[in-house]
Structure 1
Amino acid sequence: MRRERYPKEVKEQLIKEALEVGNATQVARRHGIDPKRLDYWISAAKHKSFQETPADAKKVTAYVPSSQEFSQLESENAALKKLLGEKALEIQILQDLVKKTNPGYRRNWK
């Protein structure tokens, strides 16, 4: 079985149509080509466009908060730790109260 070769323009048109429609299989069947081939062309086109993207556009930078944001985050963190400590103490007090009022009630609270 001989493979058919398609011009670059036809491939680009089919890829564009498949991306617009959102269903590559339907586009491939309409044009009488194998859906797997069209999927391959689409994935190759995406890979190719990523390779052609400038390197500075692909950089992922880390977020570094300013000193004002950092101090705000520290104060918020301290407030949350205080709140968590209060809640843990409240839970412990309630557990002790349940143990005292119901001496036969045993439960592992951990």
Structure 2
Amino acid sequence: MTRNKYSDEFKEQIIRECQETGNVALVARRHEISSNTIHTWIRKYRQQGSVKSLPRGEAVRAKALEQRLKEVSQQNDQLKRLLAEKELELAILREIRDLKNPH
């Protein structure tokens, strides 16, 4: 068995599936993967924020970490904007509700 038998995208898909179902054993059986393997992926994901392996060279590792940090920051900004939009929508809906059904 080779070290990189599964792609990083596949590993991330499996981790998402485990998060959605809350059941690693079920996902492992469904995909015929050892639950220990999935737990290793999850542990690595929690520690590094990704299942992707870091390059070996020190400078290359630093650059890869900077890139990951940039990506996470961009995702965080997108999520903040999305949350703000949803909060605004809720506020508008509450105002409409209160205008139609005054207490």
TM-score, L = length of structure 1: 0.42
Ranked by relative contact order (alpha carbons within 8 Å, sequence separation 6 or more), the top structure is 2
TM-score, L = length of structure 2: 0.45
Q: Which has the higher helix share?
A: 2
- For the pair shown, the structure with the greater C-alpha radius of gyration is 1
